[in-house]
Amino acid sequence: MSKRGSGQGEVGSGDTLEARDLHVRAGSFPAVRGVSATFRAGEFAAVIGPNGAGKSTLLRALLGLSLPDAGEVRLLGRSLRGWSRAERARTLAYLAQGEGLPEGARVRDVVSLGRGAGAWTWGLIPTRPWTGADEDAVTDALTRTDTLRFAARRVGELSGGERQRVGLARALAAGPRFLLLDEPTNHLDLAYGLEVIRHARCEAAGGLGVVAVLHDLNLAARADRLLLLHGGRVLAGGTPEEVLTPAHLHAAYGLRARVVQDGNRLIVIPED
């Protein structure tokens, strides 16, 4: 089934971000060891696993920020090695873990950075003029993340949850095909965490591919697909029902847990 999202066009079967037998080091440590996974446009996928499982390292390799020792990343059917930095930056958006935003800047200006407005702000030579289409894309990203109403406020005046949505808006402003989020709900209370997940789901329903590293398994249970890493390897991949089993949770986290179905959602309950 194909979907249409604002500015993202038709989603076809080749709209994937793929890791093929990927081996990646973090420093000298082999943090990702033979991971294969396919992330699709139009899907919200969560990468889960205990501390040190290799989640962030995998995300950085998918973005082309860390080069693999072996294996490859393929984006829209082409090896990432063949993509220019500029092409990659337009296609893959990234919200890093604990990424700070400039406190004194106004929200709209921060979101404009997502379309390269920094080239003007920082006195660099712009490669193209700022256009009405850029302005529209910024407004669209602000609207989609429900941040338009405080677009004129300064970042320093916002709550943690509001800042996270501004970061999301900046990433979306570039008009990417895939959005990669590293622990986007970290330090957020339950309500804000849920809100970030709701936005991620909504973007995926609009045609974007969303890949988020998540620690909270009950938030991850709201994803379309899960990838469970352990020791740099894939322990399980598939739907939340397939991945969040007591056996997998015990193998990955050494945790005894019950998994119960509540309506159409799974709930993980750790046992003492």
Ligand X SMILES: Nc1ncnc2c1ncn2[C@@H]1O[C@H](COP(=O)(O)OP(=O)(O)OP(=O)(O)O)[C@@H](O)[C@H]1O
Contact residues for ligand X (CB under 6 A)? Answer: 26-27, 29, 31, 49, 51-57
Between 47 and 171, CB nearer to ligand X: 47
24, 32 contact by CB (below 8 A): yes
95, 168 contact by CB (below 8 A): yes
Task: State both tokens at 195.
Answer: 């809100």
Tell me how far the alpha carbon of residue 171 is from its chain's centroid.
10
Work out how close the CB of 193 gets to ligand X at its nearest, in angstroms, rounded to a whole number. Answer: 16
Work out how close the CB of 27 gets to ligand X at its nearest, in angstroms, rounded to a whole number. Answer: 2
Between 26 and 202, CB nearer to ligand X: 26
Work out how close the CB of 233 gets to ligand X at its nearest, in angstroms, rounded to a whole number. Answer: 12
Cβ-closest residue to ligand X? 27
Between 53 and 138, CB nearer to ligand X: 53
Between 49 and 116, CB nearer to ligand X: 49
Work out how close the CB of 249 gets to ligand X at its nearest, in angstroms, rounded to a whole number. Answer: 15
What is d(CA 30, CA 71) in angstroms, rounded to the nearest whole number? Answer: 13
What is d(CA 16, CA 24) in angstroms, rounded to the nearest whole number? Answer: 20
Name the phi and psi angles at 200, rounded to 5: -60, -45
Work out how close the CB of 62 gets to ligand X at its nearest, in angstroms, rounded to a whole number. Answer: 12
Between 62 and 155, CB nearer to ligand X: 62
Helix (H) or strand (E) holding 159: none
Residue of 133, 130, 167, 131 lying closest to 147 (CA atoms): 167
8, 209 contact by CB (below 8 A): no
Work out how close the CB of 97 gets to ligand X at its nearest, in angstroms, rounded to a whole number. Answer: 7
Task: State both tokens at 211.
Answer: 């890949």
Between 119 and 255, CB nearer to ligand X: 255
Q: Within 13 Å, how many C-alpha atoms sit on residue 244's CB side?
A: 29
